[in-house]
Amino acid sequence: MKRMIKTVLFLSALVTFSAMSEALRIEITQGVSSAQPIVIVPFSSVQVVGGLPVDIAQVVSDDLARSGRFKPLPRMDMLNKPSSADQVNFRNWQSLGQDNLVIGSVTPSANGMLTVQFQLFDVYKGEQLTGFSIPANRSGLRGVAHRISDLIYEKLTGQKGAFSTRMAYVTSMPGINGKQEYKIQVADADGYGTKTIVTSSEPLMSPAWSPRGDKISYVSYEGRRSSIYTQTLRTGQREKLRSFKGINGAPSWSPDGSQLALTLSKDGSADIYIYNVITRSFRRLTRSYAIDTEPDWSPDGRQIIFTSDRGGKPQIYQISANGGQAGRVTFEGSYNARASYSPDGKNIVMVHRVNGQYRIATLDIKTGFSNILTNGELDESPSYAPNGSMILYSTNDGLKSILAAVSSDGKVRQKLRLQGGEVREPAWSPFK
Amino acid sequence: MGLFKKHPVAVILSVIFHLALVAFFVFGTDFFSEKKIESKPVVNIVKATVIDESKIKAEAEKLKNLEKKKKLQEKKRLDDIKKKRLAEEKKIADLKKQQNIQKKKLAKQKADEAAKQAKLKKQKALAKKRKAEAVKKKKLADAKKKKERLAREKAEKLKAAQEKVAQEQRNREQALRELAVAEEAEMRAQAAVASYTDLIRQKVERNWIQPPGDITGLDCVVRVRLIPGGDVIDAQVIKSSGNAFFDRSVERATRKAAPLPLPSDPSMFNFFRTLEFYFRPGG
Amino acid sequence: MKMYKNLVMGLLLSTALAGCSMFGGDDGTGTGDGVNGGVNGGASTTGVGDGSSFSGHPLDNPSSPLSTKVIYFAFDSSAVEPQYEAVLAAHGAYLAANAGVSVIVEGHADERGTREYNVALSEKRAKTVQNLLSLQGAAGNQTEAVALGEEKPVALGHDESAWHLNRRVELIYPAH
| DSSP state string for A341-354 | E-TTSSEEEEEEEE
Q: What is the ipTM of this complex?
A: 0.88
Give pLDDT, residue A343: 96
* Alpha-carbon gap, residue A224 to C15, rounded angstroms: 11
Comparing C-alpha atoms, which of A242, A252, A299, A294 is closest to residue A270? Answer: A294
* Range among A40-44, A400-404, C61-65 rated most confident: A40-44
Per DSSP bridges, beta strands B220-226 and A166-174 are unpaired
Cis link prior to B259 (omega < 30° from 0)? yes
Q: Which residues of A fall below an 8 Å CB-CB distance to C?
A: 203, 205-206, 221, 223-226, 242-247, 249-250, 263, 265-266, 269-270, 291, 293-294, 307, 309, 314, 335, 337-338, 351, 353, 358, 377-378, 380-381, 396, 425
Number of cross-chain residue pairs from A and C with Cβ atoms under 8 Å apart: 100
> Contact partners of B by the rule of 3+ C-beta pairs under 8 A?
A
> Contact partners of A by the rule of 3+ C-beta pairs under 8 A?
B, C
Q: Which residues of A touch C120 (CB under 8 A)?
A: 247, 263, 265, 269-270, 291, 293
* Alpha-carbon gap, residue A55 to A141, rounded angstroms: 9
DSSP 8-state code for residue A367? T
Comparing C-alpha atoms, which of C127, B68, B214, B78 is closest to residue A346? Answer: B214
Give pLDDT, residue C86: 93
pLDDT (mean) for C70-76:
95
Closest partner CB to B210 (pick from A25, A32, A158):
A32
Q: What is the pTM of this model?
A: 0.70
Confidence band of C10 (pLDDT split at 50, 70, 90): very low
Contact B200 A12 (CB under 8 A): no
Whether C150 shows a pLDDT value over 90: the answer reads yes
pLDDT (mean) for C88-109:
94
Give pLDDT, residue B266: 85
Q: Which residues of A touch C148 (CB under 8 A)?
A: 203, 221
Give pLDDT, residue B264: 86
* Alpha-carbon gap, residue A393 to A415, rounded angstroms: 10
Q: Which residues of B touch A124 (CB under 8 A)?
A: 252, 255-256
Per DSSP bridges, beta strands A127-136 and A114-122 are antiparallel
Instruction: Give the architecture (CATH level 2) of C2-20+56-172.
Output: 2-Layer Sandwich (3.30)
Inter-CA distances, C46 with C83, C93, C94, C139, C175, Å:
24, 10, 8, 17, 18
Return the residue in A177, A200, A218, A225 with the most chain C beta carbons within 10 A, the one to mutate for interface testing: A225
Give pLDDT, residue C50: 54
pLDDT (mean) for B20-42:
53
pLDDT (mean) for A72-101:
94
Confidence band of B27 (pLDDT split at 50, 70, 90): low
pLDDT (mean) for B68-97:
88
| A193 vs C151, higher pLDDT | C151
Confidence band of C36 (pLDDT split at 50, 70, 90): very low
* Alpha-carbon gap, residue A177 to A175, rounded angstroms: 6
Contact B171 A2 (CB under 8 A): yes
CATH 2.120.10.30 residue ranges of chain A are: 166-428
Contact B200 A26 (CB under 8 A): yes
Let me know: does A182 contact A199? Beta carbons within 8 Å. yes
Let me know: does B214 contact B263? Beta carbons within 8 Å. no
Give pLDDT, residue A202: 96
Contact B281 A5 (CB under 8 A): no
| Count of C-beta atoms within a 10 Å radius of residue A20 | 15
Contact C120 A221 (CB under 8 A): no
Whether C37 shows a pLDDT value over 90: the answer reads no
Least confident range from A360-364, C29-33, C62-66, C169-173: namely: C29-33
Contact B278 A26 (CB under 8 A): yes
Comparing C-alpha atoms, which of C139, C126, C135, C138 is closest to residue C172? Answer: C126
Give pLDDT, residue A269: 93
pLDDT (mean) for A233-262:
97
DSSP 8-state code for residue B209? B
To the nearest whole Å, the CA of C24 is away from the closest chain A CA by 9
pLDDT (mean) for B237-263:
92
Number of cross-chain residue pairs from A and B with Cβ atoms under 8 Å apart: 108
At residue B231, the 3 state secondary structure works out as: coil
To the nearest whole Å, the CA of C115 is away from the closest chain A CA by 8
Whether C166 shows a pLDDT value over 80: the answer reads yes
Q: Which residues of C fall below an 8 Å CB-CB distance to A?
A: 19, 22, 25-26, 29-33, 104, 111-117, 119-121, 123-124, 144-149, 151-152, 158
Contact B197 A2 (CB under 8 A): no
Whether B282 shows a pLDDT value over 90: the answer reads no
Give pLDDT, residue B26: 61
**CATH number for region B129-283:** 3.30.1150.10
Contact A358 C112 (CB under 8 A): yes
| B166 vs C50, higher pLDDT | B166
pLDDT (mean) for B58-86:
88
Give pLDDT, residue B51: 56
Least confident range from A187-191, A197-201, A326-330, A408-412: namely: A408-412
Q: What is the mean pLDDT of chain B?
A: 84
Closest partner CB to B279 (pick from A5, A28, A36):
A28
Let me know: does A160 contact A385? Beta carbons within 8 Å. no
Q: Which residues of A fall below an 8 Å CB-CB distance to B?
A: 1-2, 5, 8-9, 12-13, 16, 19-36, 69, 94, 97, 99, 122, 124-125, 156-158, 409
Confidence band of A326 (pLDDT split at 50, 70, 90): very high
Element holding A107 (H helix, E strand): strand A100-108
Give pLDDT, residue A29: 87
What whole-number percentage of chain A has pLDDT above 70?
Answer: 95
* Alpha-carbon gap, residue B230 to B228, rounded angstroms: 5
* Alpha-carbon gap, residue C13 to C67, rounded angstroms: 11
Instruction: Give the architecture (CATH level 2) of A166-428.
Output: 6 Propeller (2.120)
Whether C12 shows a pLDDT value over 60: the answer reads no
Q: Which segments within chain C are labelled E, that is strand?
A: 70-72, 103-107, 143-147, 168-172
Dihedral (CA of A146, A149, A154, A155) sign: positive
To the nearest whole Å, the CA of A130 is away from the closest chain C CA by 44
Q: What is the mean pLDDT of chain A?
A: 92
CATH class (in words) of the domain with range A36-157: alpha beta
* Alpha-carbon gap, residue A248 to A222, rounded angstroms: 12
pLDDT (mean) for A352-361:
96
CATH 3.40.50.10070 residue ranges of chain A are: 36-157
Give pLDDT, residue B251: 94
| B14 vs A103, higher pLDDT | A103
Kindly give the residue spans of alpha helices, DSSP state H, lying in chain B: 2-6, 8-27, 53-206, 244-256, 269-272
- Contacts for B103 with CB less than 8 Å, ≥ 6 apart: none
Confidence band of A273 (pLDDT split at 50, 70, 90): very high
Closest partner CB to C123 (pick from A246, A351, A378):
A246
pLDDT (mean) for A406-428:
86
Whether B179 shows a pLDDT value over 60: the answer reads yes
To the nearest whole Å, the CA of A207 is away from the closest chain B CA by 30
* Alpha-carbon gap, residue B43 to B26, rounded angstroms: 40
Q: Which residues of B touch A99 (CB under 8 A)?
A: 209, 252, 256
Contact A378 C158 (CB under 8 A): yes
pLDDT (mean) for A231-252:
97
Contact A23 B271 (CB under 8 A): no
- Contacts for A430 with CB less than 8 Å, ≥ 6 apart: A165, A209, A211, A212, A213, A386
* Alpha-carbon gap, residue A216 to A425, rounded angstroms: 13
* Alpha-carbon gap, residue B257 to C28, rounded angstroms: 74
Give pLDDT, residue A236: 96
pLDDT (mean) for A196-215:
97
Q: Which residues of A touch B186 (CB under 8 A)?
A: 12, 16
* Alpha-carbon gap, residue B274 to B262, rounded angstroms: 12
* Alpha-carbon gap, residue A139 to A136, rounded angstroms: 8
Whether C41 shows a pLDDT value over 80: the answer reads no
Let me know: does A166 contact A185? Beta carbons within 8 Å. no
Chains B and C touch (3+ CB pairs under 8 A): no
Confidence band of B119 (pLDDT split at 50, 70, 90): confident
Give the full edge-to-edge strand order of the sheet including A390-396.
Answer: A380-384, A390-396, A401-407, A413-416
Give pLDDT, residue C28: 36
Q: Which residues of B touch A12 (CB under 8 A)?
A: 182, 186
* Alpha-carbon gap, residue C63 to C42, rounded angstroms: 18
Whether B84 shows a pLDDT value over 80: the answer reads yes
Around B255, how many Cα atoms within 13 Å sit in the side-chain half-sphere?
Answer: 23
Inter-CA distances, C174 with B257, C18, C41, C130, Å:
78, 9, 9, 17
To the nearest whole Å, the CA of C114 is away from the closest chain A CA by 6
Whether C7 shows a pLDDT value over 60: the answer reads no
Let me know: does A204 contact A183? Beta carbons within 8 Å. yes
Least confident range from A415-424, B36-45, C160-169: namely: B36-45
Confidence band of C40 (pLDDT split at 50, 70, 90): very low
Element holding A217 (H helix, E strand): strand A215-220
Per DSSP bridges, beta strands A215-220 and A227-232 are antiparallel
Confidence band of A41 (pLDDT split at 50, 70, 90): very high
Give pLDDT, residue B32: 45
Let me know: does A104 contact A117? Beta carbons within 8 Å. yes
Let me know: does A223 contact C22? Beta carbons within 8 Å. yes
